[in-house]
A and B are shown apart, each in its own frame.
Chain A
Amino acid sequence: MEDLNSKIKNVIISSLELEDITPADIDDDAPLFGEGEGLGLDSIDALELGLAIKENFGVSFTAVNDETRKHFASVNSLAAFITANKQNG
């Protein structure tokens, strides 16, 4: 799990070209999105990060709803989702 988390952080940093941030700066439980909290990513970032995660971890969806969006709240929830998605696929 620890490994996957740092992999995710690296994907976040490289795909969004976050220059001043290192993996250590990203808290596993901090919210990724929303102003003033955690990383404070915006909607463009969200779309790009989505694609980067797809490319790097091979996740996919057949439907989109509020439930699926919860997986992207933090690094931890993302890691849990990627693990589960891999097992199903």
Chain B
Amino acid sequence: MASTQTQWYDRKEVSAGTSWTFTFMSLMVKFLPRPLLVAISAIICFFFFLGAKPVRKNSMAYLNRVAKVTGRKKPTLFDSYKHVLSFVLQMLEKQLSWMGRLKVSDLENNAEREEFLKYITSGHGAILLTSHLGNLDMFRSLGDISGNAKIKNLRICPIVDIENSSRYNDLLRKLNPKLMDNIINASNIGIDSAIMLKDKIDQGYLVVIAGDRTSAKNRDRTVRAKFLGDWAEFPEGSFILASIIGAPIYFGVGIRCKNFSLNSKYEFMIHKATTDFSGSRKEKKQKIQALIEEYIGFIEEHCKEHPYQWYNFFDFWEEKEQES
């Protein structure tokens, strides 16, 4: 388990590229029309895909399970290619969003989201549990982090694994220096971070943390739960944090309506968790389990609808796929 995890993180850095590819990528994003960007990505991605057997394998492990639970036909290698291409497009899309090229009008209307926005932009703190499904940066970039805020009073405090994606973050920081404001390093959460987070919540920040974060450095304790039909291990840390802070907990996902277009509309779906953490500490274990199951239910629903937008190429499941 440990060694496959390490490998994955090594690989992630490779797949994300070196700094000159990043520079190249950001120049492309800046100057090329979006349909051409998609075409170029499709070609580059094809060669990457040929050479990245472990990525293919983990992508298939995920796609097979989606097919099984939805009763769709078994995925082919081409489906796996589409999955990886979708991941590449998401990286470009993040850059677009940080350059301020995405607009609120790119978002589809959604009543639950409006209610959520009303709540958090009126000075209330909350916790948003996200995942590697879709792109939430898109939403963050619309918030009150730049001088030309598009959604007023949206103050976000993201908890991010800084070490893991440093190069990519460097690039995003260049695009928008405000990106690293209020960021909390996930690989260094402890007793003092809880105090700081509580401060942020009291000041009305939205604390954002991914629930499917698999850390290369800290081997977090995990909780067993069924994900897409099979037993999987989810890191417990984010859920524990959510459970003790005493603020409303939301699940969120940002999805491109069209999988392979950078001119797509976006949907931002939000769901308020119903698990209640008041009461005795002794029930906490079960309640955390309930929260994780509720969270998995939420992401599963959207994985089934948008299978290619799941960007966590990590094999969560206990039962491994056969080599093919």
Taking beta carbons and an 8 Å cutoff, which residues of A are in contact with B? 16-17, 43-44, 46-51, 53-54, 59-62, 64-65, 68-69, 71-72
Contacts and interface: CB of A to CB of B under 8 A. Distances in A.
Interface stretch (B64-72, B91-99, B106-114, B239-247): B239-247
Contacts of A59: 195
Contacts of B221: 43
30 contacts: A17-B280, A17-B281, A17-B282, A43-B221, A43-B240, A44-B240, A44-B284, A46-B190, A46-B191, A47-B190, A47-B191, A47-B193, A47-B241, A48-B194, A50-B190, A51-B198, A51-B245, A54-B198, A60-B195, A60-B196, A61-B192, A61-B199, A62-B196, A64-B184, A64-B193, A64-B196, A71-B192, A72-B190, A72-B191, A72-B192
B188 interface: yes
Contacts of B190: 43, 46-47, 50, 64, 69, 72
A46 B280 CA distance: 17
A15 to B, nearest CB: 9
Interface residues of B, number: 24
B281 A50 contact: no
Contacts of B240: 43-44, 47
A69 B240 CA distance: 19
A34 to B, nearest CB: 13
A68 to B, nearest CB: 4
Closest 4 A-B residue pairs measured CB to CB? A50-B194, A50-B191, A47-B194, A46-B191
A49 B282 contact: no
Nearest to A46: B191
Contacts of A44: 240, 244, 284
B187 to A, nearest CB: 12
Interface string B169-199: 0000000000000001100111111111011
Contacts of A71: 192
Interface in B262-294: 280-282, 284
Given A17-B281, A46-B190, A64-B184, A54 B244 contact: no
A46 B195 contact: no
Contacts of B184: 64
